[in-house]
Amino acid sequence: MADLLLYIAKELVSDPDQVSVETKETESNITLVLHVAKNDMGKVIGKSGKIAKAIRTVIKSASKNSLKPYCVSIV
């Protein structure tokens, strides 16, 4: 799942070398923390958060068959 998020984010930003994904697992879920450069933050979040919501929807849909639900956090 982290690879999918990394691929999506790198396609959206101007500086793909600054993109990284950190995975944090708890008992109830798995959180993917997306790190991007400051000047690319708007490209990942989008107007009114539409792109961020779409990214979260794709990850949630792709993880339907996993044991724990995935969440995406953008920092």
pLDDT score for 29: 94
Task: Please name the fold of domain 2-74.
Answer: GMP Synthetase; Chain A, domain 3 (3.30.300)
Q: Where are the domains of the chain?
A: 2-74
User: In this predicted structure, what is the pLDDT of residue 30?
Assistant: 96
Q: What is the pLDDT of residue 51?
A: 96
Beta bridge partners of 35: 20
Q: Do residues 13 and 43 lie in contact, with contact meaning Cβ atoms separated by under 8 Å?
A: yes
As a whole number, the mean pLDDT across the chain is 95
**Verdict on whether the full-model pTM lies above 0.85:** yes
What DSSP string runs through 26-60?
-SS-EEEEEE--GGGHHHHH-GGGHHHHHHHHHHH
What integer is the mean pLDDT of 48-73?
Answer: 94
Nearest to 25 by CA among 71, 65, 56: 71
List % helix, strand, coil for the chain (3-state, nearest 5): 50, 25, 25
Q: What is the pLDDT of residues 15-46, one digit of tens each?
A: 999 999 999 999 999 999 999 999 999 999 99
